[in-house]
Structure 1
Amino acid sequence: MLKVLITCVWLLGSTWAAMAQASSVVFLNPGMSTEAFWVNYAQFMQAAATDLGLDLRVRYSERIADTTLAQAREALQGNVRPDYLVLVNEQYIAPQILRMAEGSGVKLLIVNNALTADQAQMMGSHQHPDWIASLVADDEQAGYLMLIDLLRQYGPVPPGASIDLLAFSGTKTTPAAQLRERGLHRALAEHPEVRLRQLVYGEWSRQRAFEQATQLFKRNPQTVLVWAANDEMALGAMQAVQTGGRAPGKDVLFSAVNSSPEILQARLDGRLTTLVAGHFTLGGWAMVLINDHAKGVDLDAHGGRDRQAALFQLIDASQARHLLGPPMAVDFHALSAVGKPASYRYPFSLQLLLR
C-alpha cells in the first residue's frame, strides 16, 4: 500500500512538474469572438499549442484597439505574466505594446501584421530585446491573385473594350489590408482593360459592405467584378447584388480572402468565383516557433527574425470541400527545428492541411 501511495505521489509530482514547465502564451486576438476567421484562427492555434504542450490563453478585443492595449497591459505588467505574448499590429498598435513590454521579461511574437517600415524605423534601438520574431503571410500576393484569377475566369476582354471593378478593402490602419490593396493595384497595372470604379473601406464588416455595395452598384450598374479583402465583405456585397436582382457568380464575379465555412460553401455553390486562403494557419505556425524558442532553438539560424510565409493559395472547389470536412490533424512536432540541421527551414504551408 505504501509503495502504491509513493508511486501515486511521484506521478502527481511529475504531472505538476510538467505543467509548471509548460511555457505560457497569451494571444491578443484583434478580432471578434463571433468572427469566423479569428475564431478558426484561434482554434488552429489551440490545436498546435495542445499538441506541443504549450499553455495558451486567447483574449479577444472585439476589434477595439483600446481593449487590446488594456489586455496587453494586464499581461505585461500584471502579477502573473506569460512567458510569451503573441500580438497583431492591427490599427498600428504594436509599437505601443513593444514599449509597454520593456522590462517585463515577456517574450514577444508578432503575427499577421508586422511592423511597417516607418514603425520599425521610428522604433530604432527601442525595439524590445525579447521580441523574438514576426510571422506574416504574403498579403500583397493574395490581393494580386484575386484579380488575376477573376480575369481568368471572366474570360478574354475584346480589344478596346473595358470592364468595371469595385473593390472592398479592410481598414486604412491595417498593414495586411494595405498590402492586399498593393497587390490589387499591381494586377490593375498589368490589365488596363479593367476600370476600378471605386475602392472603399468596408472595415472587414459584412453589414458595412452590404450598405456600401447597395449604393455603389446603383452608381456603377455595369460592374461585373468585385474584389473583396475578406470573406465578410464579399458576402455583404453578394447580398447587395442579390437584393438588386442580379446573380453572384453569373452576372457579377466575386473574389474573397479567408476560409470560413460560409465562404467555402459559396465557392462550392459557384456564387464566389475566386477564393484565396491559408493565413488562418499563422497562429499555429507561431506556436511551433515559440515551442522551439523555449527549447533553445536559435530562430535566426532557421530563417531569420522577420518571416514571410507563402501561405496564400487559390482554393478550388475540391479544396473547399476538403476544408469544410472534419478537422485536419497536423503533426506540429514534426515541423519543429529541434534536432534539425542549421539548413532546416520551416515548411509552413496550407498544403499540410490539404493532404
Structure 2
Amino acid sequence: MNRRTILGTVAAVGFGMITSVAGADGLPALEKKERYKVGFAQMESNNPWRIAETKSFHDTAESCNWDLVATDAAGSAAKQVSDVDSMIAQGIDVLFLPPREEKPLIPAVMKARAAGIPTFLVDRSVDSNVAQAGEHYVSFLGSDFIWQGQQVAEWTLENFKGEKGIIVELEGTTGSSPANDRRKGFDDVMAQHDNMEIVASQSGDFARDLGRQVMETLLQAHPDVNIVYAHNDEMAIGAIQALELAGRKPGEDVLVVSIDGTRDALQAIIDGKMGVTVESSPFFGPLACEVMNRYAEGEEIEPWVQVKDRIFTADNAAEFIDEAY
C-alpha cells in the first residue's frame, strides 16, 4: 500500500466537508526529487492583483523545475473545489491554494490531505476553527491583513484634516479572510475615536466596477462622506470614478485610502486622488518555491510564513511605481 493510499482513508463526511485520517507523521511528506507536478488553483483572474499572482507562479515554474497545473475558478468557490479535485486526479505532488472564501474551500484542503498531497494556502486562509496549519495543511503564506487595516486607519487619523470623519467602507469578498481581517483592523482602530464614524459598509467583491456601483449608491444615502476606505485598490479606483462623476474631488474634499499597492493606486497617489495604499504583494511564486523546497528537505515549516508589506504615500509612490503591477 503506497503513502497516498494510507493517507487517503476517509473518516467522516458531514456538514459539507471531509475529515481525513493522516499517517502517524501527521501531514503528508514530500519526496525530494528533481521535478514536481505542482497545482495552483487560482480563484479568479478579473483584476491586476490576481493576474500578477498567477504570472508569478508561471514564471517560477521554469526556475523551480515545476510542471505547473494552473486553473482559474472564475470567482466560484464551488469550481475552485472542483479544480482541486481534478488536480488530485492528475496526481499533483503539491498544492498551492488561495481560498476564495474561508469556509467553502475547507473540503478542498481536506481532500488534498486525504490524498497525501501537501497543501500550502496562499494569500488567503480558511476557517481556523475547522482546519489548522500543521495539521490539515502545511502553512499559510501571506500578509497580516489585520495589520494592513490598522495601518490604513492610523495613517487616516494622522492625515485627515476635518473635524469629523464620515466614513464609507467598501468591503472585499464576503466571507474571505482579507475582507474579514481588513475590516477588523480598520474598524477596531476607528472605534477608539469619537470623531470617526463608519456610516456604511458594503461589499464590492474586490472588483473595480462593482466598487464604483456600490460607491454611487452609498453616495446617495451619505452625500456628506469625506473618507472612503476600500479593502483593495480596484474598489478604491472604482470609488474615485464614482466620486468624480458625482462632482466630488478625491484627495481634496474626500480622502480615499486602500490596500494592495497596484500601479493604478500609486499613480492615483501621485495624482493626489488617493492618500495611502498598504502593500499586499501578489508575487508568491518565488516564496512558494523556497518554502516547498524547505519542506521537501524535511524542515518544519512555520504555520504562517508572513509576507512583510510596505506603505505607499505621496512621499514614496513615485519611487516605487515602476516596480508595481
Structure-2-length-normalised TM-score: 0.82
Equivalent of 1:25, from 15, 30, 38? 38
Cα deviations by residue, 1:66-98 (Å, 9 ceiling, x for unpaired): 22111101001x2x3121111123222332012
Q: Do the aligned residues in 1 keep the contact of 2:113 with 2:119 (CA within 8 Å)?
A: no
Match of 1:81 in 2: 91
5+ long unaligned stretches in structure 2 = 1-32
Match of 2:304 in 1: 307
Q: For residues 110 and 89 of structure 1, what CA distance do their matches in structure 2 show?
A: 7
Q: For residues 90 and 225 of structure 1, what CA distance do their matches in structure 2 show?
A: 28
Cα deviations by residue, 1:287-338 (Å, 9 ceiling, x for unpaired): 21012222x14134xxx2x11515232113464334432689xxxxxxxxxx
Cα deviations by residue, 1:102-161 (Å, 9 ceiling, x for unpaired): 44232211122223232237x9x9x54xx3222221000111111221222223x5xxx4
The equivalences for 1:129-278 within 5 A come to 131-155=137-161, 157=162, 161-278=163-280
* Matched AA of 1:315: F
**SS across alignment from 2:227:** strand
Match of 1:341 in 2: none
Match of 1:351 in 2: none
Does 2:74 match 1:62? yes
Q: For residues 195 and 37 of structure 2, what CA distance do their matches in structure 1 show?
A: 53
Q: Do the aligned residues in 2 keep the contact of 1:138 with 1:308 (CA within 8 Å)?
A: no
Q: For residues 39 and 209 of structure 2, what CA distance do their matches in structure 1 show?
A: 30
Equivalent of 2:55, from 36, 43, 64? 43
**SS across alignment from 2:265:** helix
Equivalent of 2:105, from 86, 91, 94? 94
Does 2:322 match 1:316? no
Q: Do the aligned residues in 2 keep the contact of 1:52 with 1:291 (CA within 8 Å)?
A: no
- 1:280 Cα offset (Å): 1.5
Q: Do the aligned residues in 2 keep the contact of 1:143 with 1:180 (CA within 8 Å)?
A: yes
* Matched AA of 2:40: F
Does 2:117 match 1:111? no
Q: Do the aligned residues in 1 keep the contact of 2:34 with 2:65 (CA within 8 Å)?
A: no
Cα distance change, pair 215–278 in 1 and its aligned pair in 2 (3 A):
closer
Match of 2:13 in 1: none
Q: For residues 50 and 265 of structure 1, what CA distance do their matches in structure 2 show?
A: 32
Higher percent of residues as helix? 1
Q: For residues 261 and 268 of structure 2, what CA distance do their matches in structure 1 show?
A: 10
Q: For residues 270 and 201 of structure 1, what CA distance do their matches in structure 2 show?
A: 25
Match of 1:287 in 2: 289
How high is the sequence identity, in percent, across the aligned residues?
Answer: 21
- 1:52 Cα offset (Å): 3.0
Q: For residues 205 and 58 of structure 1, what CA distance do their matches in structure 2 show?
A: 22
Q: For residues 114 and 221 of structure 2, what CA distance do their matches in structure 1 show?
A: 55
Q: Do the aligned residues in 2 keep the contact of 1:108 with 1:133 (CA within 8 Å)?
A: yes
The structure number with the bigger radius of gyration is 1
Q: Do the aligned residues in 2 keep the contact of 1:25 with 1:85 (CA within 8 Å)?
A: yes
Please tell me the root mean square deviation across aligned C-alpha atoms, in Å.
2.4
Q: Matched residue pairs, number?
A: 292
Cα distance change, pair 318–26 in 1 and its aligned pair in 2 (3 A):
farther
Q: For residues 151 and 283 of structure 1, what CA distance do their matches in structure 2 show?
A: 35
* Matched AA of 2:158: R
* Matched AA of 1:298: E
**SS across alignment from 2:131:** helix
- 1:283 Cα offset (Å): 4.4
